[in-house]
């Protein structure tokens, strides 16, 4: 009797294992019945954005009944960790939304099927994109692309027109004018500052500083791809940044501090991305917002592109499905919907969005008048570290990942190190990274 019970128990256990196995397989076979299932990894975690993405996926599945899209939603801060672990297990999703910096890291390790991406851009038409946006995703040899641009943002100095006018200032045109305005508005005792400047030890500071450096013709790499951190131009740029930082809030200022300081009137100027625009619109101050670009030897706009990429090593069926899906998302109406998930914040990277009626008639876009067009066109003026004479060095991905530049800025501005000391430390670190 006891043995009988034992046998039933064993049979029960085995049955459970088999059933669990079958249940996980049935999901896959369901997908197979419909044709092919691919995963789409993106970072739009907010519910409203998720609704838009899921809506686009449903529309795509209706038009392409043999392709099923399985969305994989990841927090932006976890994206790189997720990519590394999924890549290690050979489980990368077929379509991945990735920024230009991490696309370089993936490209370096041959994780991107650049040919497949190139085909997609060829099918959509390269002329459709702003040249600046394409430059950011072009491979080092200039022959192909690391991702298909879907949206982007640019960064500059945002200023409160009324506040500046109250002290007789207009849009600052040069480094010295920026400093002059910042000085005029700084009253440390009353916690009022002239400019909200990023000083935190992350890429936010690198992006802000890069505009000053590049406007002074200082890049991290030269045309041979060698590190050129210790040039007089770079030293001038860091010295100026440190000097300007005396008119900003004390300590390490990140995204929250900079945005809050500008929005609550603590500072009349802020170095920030276009993601400031939705908050300004909400506050009803759209008409009062001005946009300036750091300028010394030349103007330097910082911008970044969010692109959709296809990992290397996919089977043909999966690759074709991924290409079809990206082409679908890049169509004027769908790309517009994608960009308008954050109107004003996310910027169009292709002309078919800027010219789209839905985009133009969006109330947030309209509220800013000509500014969105000015911003979108500034994509063509984009200058970023590691992009030298249109050559987009792949090693810049490692340089950014190493965090050496933000550490240098934070050391000099917050940590009290001299410009020379901070630059030397960063140079030593970068030499190790690039070696």
Partner 1 sequence: MFKAKKETSDGKLALILLLPSALLILLLIGYPMLSNFYISFFQQSINPNLPSEFIGFENFSETLGDAEFYKSLGITLLYTLLVVAGSTALGLYVAILFNRPFKFRKLARSLIILSYVTPSISLIFAWKYMFNNGYGIINYIGRDILHIFDRAPLWFDNPTSSFILVVLFAIWRYFPYAFIAFLAILQTISPTLYEAAEMDGANIWQKFKAVTLPAIMPVMMTVITLRTIWMFYMFEDVYLLTNKVNVLGIYLYETAFAFNDLGKASAISVILFCIICTLIIVVRKRVNLNASS
Listed ranges 62-70, 85-93, 134-142, 211-219: which one lies at the site for partner 1 (CB under 8 A): 85-93
Stretch that binds partner 1, among 130-138, 259-267, 338-346, 368-376 (CB under 8 A): 259-267
Torsion sign, CA atoms 360, 366, 369, 375: negative
Secondary structure (H, E, C), 366-416? HHCCCHHHHHHHHHHHECCCCEECCEECCHHHHHHHHCHHHHHHHHHHCCC
Tokens representing residue 168 in the block: 């007789």
261 is a site residue for partner 1 (CB under 8 A):
yes
Alpha-carbon span 181 to 400, nearest angstrom: 31
Asked if 434 interacts with partner 1 (CB under 8 A), we say: no
- Minimum CB distance to partner 1 smaller for 13 or for 283: 13
Site string for partner 1, 97-136 (x = CB under 8 A): --------xx--xxx-------------------------
Question: Is the Cβ of residue 6 or residue 165 nearer to partner 1 in the bound state?
Answer: 6
Q: How far apart are CA 322 and CA 308, in angstroms?
A: 10
Question: Which of 257, 309, 321, 367 is the binder for partner 1 (CB under 8 A)?
Answer: 257
Question: How far apart, in Å, are the Cα atoms of 301 and each of 215, 250, 321?
Answer: 9, 26, 36
Q: CA-to-CA distance for 81 and 25, rounded, in angstroms?
A: 27
For 67, other C-beta atoms within 10 Å of its C-beta total: 22
**Best CA proximity match to 377, nearest among 358, 351, 357, 359:** 351
Q: Which is nearer to partner 1, 140 or 398 (CB)?
A: 398
**Phi/psi at 350 (5° precision):** -130, 150
Pair of tokens at residue 4: 């009988």
- Taking CB under 8 A as the criterion, the residue among 53, 98, 271, 312 binding partner 1 is 312
Cβ–Cβ under 8 Å, residues 92 and 111: yes
Closer to partner 1 at the Cβ: 52 or 84?
84
10 counts as binding partner 1 under rule CB under 8 A: yes
The footprint of partner 1 on residues 176-205 (CB under 8 A) is 191, 200-202
| Residue in 192, 233, 260, 333 binding partner 1, rule: CB under 8 A | 260
Stretch that binds partner 1, among 43-51, 244-252, 276-284, 332-340 (CB under 8 A): 244-252
Could you say which of 43, 44, 118, 252 contacts partner 1 (CB under 8 A)?
252
Pick from 121, 164, 382, 414 the residue near partner 1 by CB under 8 A: 414
| Cα gap 53→45, rounded to integer Å | 10
Residues that bind partner 1 in the complex, under the rule CB under 8 A: 2-3, 6, 9-10, 13, 80-81, 83-84, 87-90, 105-106, 109-111, 191, 200-202, 249-252, 257, 260-261, 266, 312-313, 398, 401-403, 410, 414-415, 433
């Amino acid at each position: 009797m006891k043995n009988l019970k034992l046998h039933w128990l064993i049979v029960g256990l085995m049955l459970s294992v088999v059933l669990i196995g079958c249940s996980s397989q049935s999901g896959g076979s369901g997908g197979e019945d419909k044709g092919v299932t691919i995963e789409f990894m993106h970072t739009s975690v907010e519910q409203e954005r998720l609704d838009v993405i899921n809506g686009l996926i449903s529309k795509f599945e209706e038009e392409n009944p043999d392709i099923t899209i399985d969305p994989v939603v990841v927090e932006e801060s976890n994206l790189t960790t997720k990519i590394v672990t999924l890549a290690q297990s050979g489980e990368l999703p077929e379509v991945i939304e990735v920024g230009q910096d991490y696309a370089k890291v993936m490209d370096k390790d041959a994780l991107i099927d650049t040919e497949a991406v190139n085909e997609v851009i060829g099918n959509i038409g390269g002329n459709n994109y702003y040249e600046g946006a394409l430059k950011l995703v072009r491979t080092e040899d200039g022959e192909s692309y690391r991702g298909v641009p879907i949206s982007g943002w640019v960064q500059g100095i945002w200023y409160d027109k009324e506040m500046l006018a109250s002290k007789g200032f207009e849009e600052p045109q040069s480094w010295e004018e920026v400093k002059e305005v910042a000085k005029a508005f700084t009253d440390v005792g009353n916690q009022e500052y002239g400019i909200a400047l990023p000083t935190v030890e992350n890429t936010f500071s690198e992006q802000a500083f890069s505009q000053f450096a590049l406007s002074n013709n200082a890049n991290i790499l030269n045309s041979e791809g060698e590190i050129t951190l210790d040039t007089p131009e770079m030293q001038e740029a860091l010295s100026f940044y440190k000097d300007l930082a005396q008119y900003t809030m004390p300590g390490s200022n990140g995204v929250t501090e900079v945005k809050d300081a500008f929005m609550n009137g603590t500072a009349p100027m802020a170095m920030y991305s276009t993601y400031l625009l939705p908050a300004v619109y909400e506050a009803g101050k759209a008409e009062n917002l001005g946009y300036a670009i750091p300028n010394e030897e030349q103007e330097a706009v910082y911008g970044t592109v969010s692109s959709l990429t296809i990992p290397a090593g996919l089977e043909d069926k999966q690759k074709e499905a991924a290409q079809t899906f990206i082409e679908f998302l890049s169509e004027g109406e769908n790309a517009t919907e994608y960009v308008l998930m954050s109107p004003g914040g996310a910027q169009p990277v292709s002309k078919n969005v800027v010219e789209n009626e839905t985009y133009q008639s969006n109330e947030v876009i309209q509220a800013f008048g000509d500014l969105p067009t000015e911003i979108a066109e500034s994509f063509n003026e984009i200058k970023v570290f590691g992009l030298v004479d249109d050559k987009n060095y792949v090693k810049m991905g490692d340089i950014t990942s190493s965090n050496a530049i933000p550490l240098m800025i934070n050391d000099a501005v917050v940590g009290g190190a001299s410009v020379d000391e901070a630059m030397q430390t960063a140079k030593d670190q970068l030499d190790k990274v690039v070696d």
